[in-house]
């Protein structure tokens, strides 16, 4: 699970980063609103911990912009303010949870686990559809009509990412960040290899869906209509 922390208090951001990493989460931290919105709109995160009071762009503005762009990543708002009006404003703007400072680490971890379970409840069968294909991410299976083919974990993760970004060109760099992590030493040709594997499996299924290369930019799915 990849988590983004947007928090301008450097000591708090570092402490949260270390705590979450010790609990086996992959974590990135940024410290102002502009960096926060850039990272949030990438679509690579499974959850965002977002402070309201930030330099350059406040958390509520980030949240509203995310939801306007149909970025559905779960968000936990952090703020030093505990008033009901602030809580209501945050939740009405699209936040999934709200945690006033100071807070106990155990409570934050519990809320993260709760949001993870809630996210799983939305798609209990872990399936995604695009055009004439259906991806069963839980069972690593891609199907068209009554025909199906098994996928490796990385193939499934890559296809899922492309399906979720179906109308957006996705760069190799973004794929590497999502599937392997920011600190990974994976080379871009690894992405090309997995793209090739997926194309062969789509061809095996005689699917109208194709992974199109946008030269110099990345990949995009076509054939969804």
pLDDT digits over 55-79, tens only? 999 999 999 998 888 788 899 998 7
What is the average per-residue pLDDT within 160-170? Answer: 85
Q: What is the pLDDT of residues 192-214, one digit of tens each?
A: 999 999 999 999 999 999 999 99
In whole angstroms, how far apart are CA 56 and each of 8, 61, 86, 129, 153? Answer: 11, 10, 19, 38, 39
Q: Examine the pLDDT at 150 and tell me if it is beyond 90.
A: yes
Structure tokens belonging to residue 102: 């100071």
What percent helix, strand, coil does the chain show, rounded to 5? 40, 25, 35
For the chain, give the percent of residues with pLDDT over 70. 92
Helix (H, G, I), strand (E, B) or coil at 188: helix
Q: What is the pLDDT of residue 121?
A: 43
How many C-beta atoms lie closer than 10 Å to residue 45's C-beta? 22
In whole angstroms, how far apart are CA 45 and each of 72, 145, 147? Answer: 10, 31, 32
What is the average per-residue pLDDT within 25-42? Answer: 91
Q: What is the pLDDT of residue 62?
A: 94
More confidently predicted of 127 and 141? 141
Looking at residue 141, the DSSP 8-state letter turns out to be: E
CA pair distance 206, 217, nearest whole angstrom: 27
């Amino acid at each position: 699970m990849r988590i983004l922390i947007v928090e301008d208090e450097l000591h708090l951001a570092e402490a949260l980063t270390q705590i979450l990493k010790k609990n086996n989460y992959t974590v990135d931290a940024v410290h102002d609103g502009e960096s926060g919105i850039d990272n949030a709109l990438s679509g690579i995160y499974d959850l965002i911990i977002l402070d309201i009071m930030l330099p350059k762009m406040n958390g509520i503005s980030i949240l509203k912009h995310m939801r306007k762009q149909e970025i559905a990543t779960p968000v936990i708002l952090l703020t030093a303010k505990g008033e009901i009006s602030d809580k209501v404003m945050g939740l009405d703007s699209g936040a999934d949870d709200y945690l006033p400072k100071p807070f106990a680490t155990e409570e934050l971890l519990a809320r993260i686990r709760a949001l993870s379970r809630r996210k799983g409840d939305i798609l209990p069968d872990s399936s995604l559809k695009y055009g004439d294909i259906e991806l069963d991410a839980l069972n690593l299976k891609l199907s068209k009509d009554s025909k199906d083919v098994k996928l490796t974990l990385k193939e499934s993760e890559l296809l899922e990412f492309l399906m979720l970004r179906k109308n957006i060109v996705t760069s190799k760099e973004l794929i590497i960040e999502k599937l392997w992590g920011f600190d990974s030493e994976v080379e871009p040709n690894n992405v090309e290899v997995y793209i090739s594997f997926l194309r062969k499996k789509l061809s095996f299924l005689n699917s109208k869906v194709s992974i199109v290369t946008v030269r110099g930019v990345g990949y995009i799915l076509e054939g969804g209509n």
